[in-house]
Amino acid sequence: MCSHQPPCPTVDSPDRQAAVIVSAHPEQGWYLLCNGTIAFDDTGEVLPDGRAVSPHRTVGALVVAA
């Protein structure tokens, strides 16, 4: 899909979300990337072959009041 230089990370690359945004829909919480990945605001993804990737955002530290 990617025709610009340098090329975007492939779908199989661990940094696939670094690809260029082709179509943005922030009001709906998703973005179509140049490599065909649909990236969601919650860090979940749908890959071009239909596989779903669960959200992988980090959870902040739990602060317990003393």
Across 1-66, where does the E strand assignment appear?
21-25, 30-33, 38-40, 45-46, 52-53
Which residue type is seen at 38? Answer: I
Mean pLDDT by 10 residues, the chain (66 residues): 82 91 96 95 94 80 60
Whole-angstrom CA distances from 22 to 15, 28, 39, 46, 62 are 17, 15, 11, 15, 37
- Using alpha carbons only, give the angle 52, 58, 2 rounded to the nearest 5 degrees: 45
Half-sphere exposure of 27 (CA within 13 A, CB side): 0
What per-residue confidence (pLDDT) applies to 63? Answer: 61
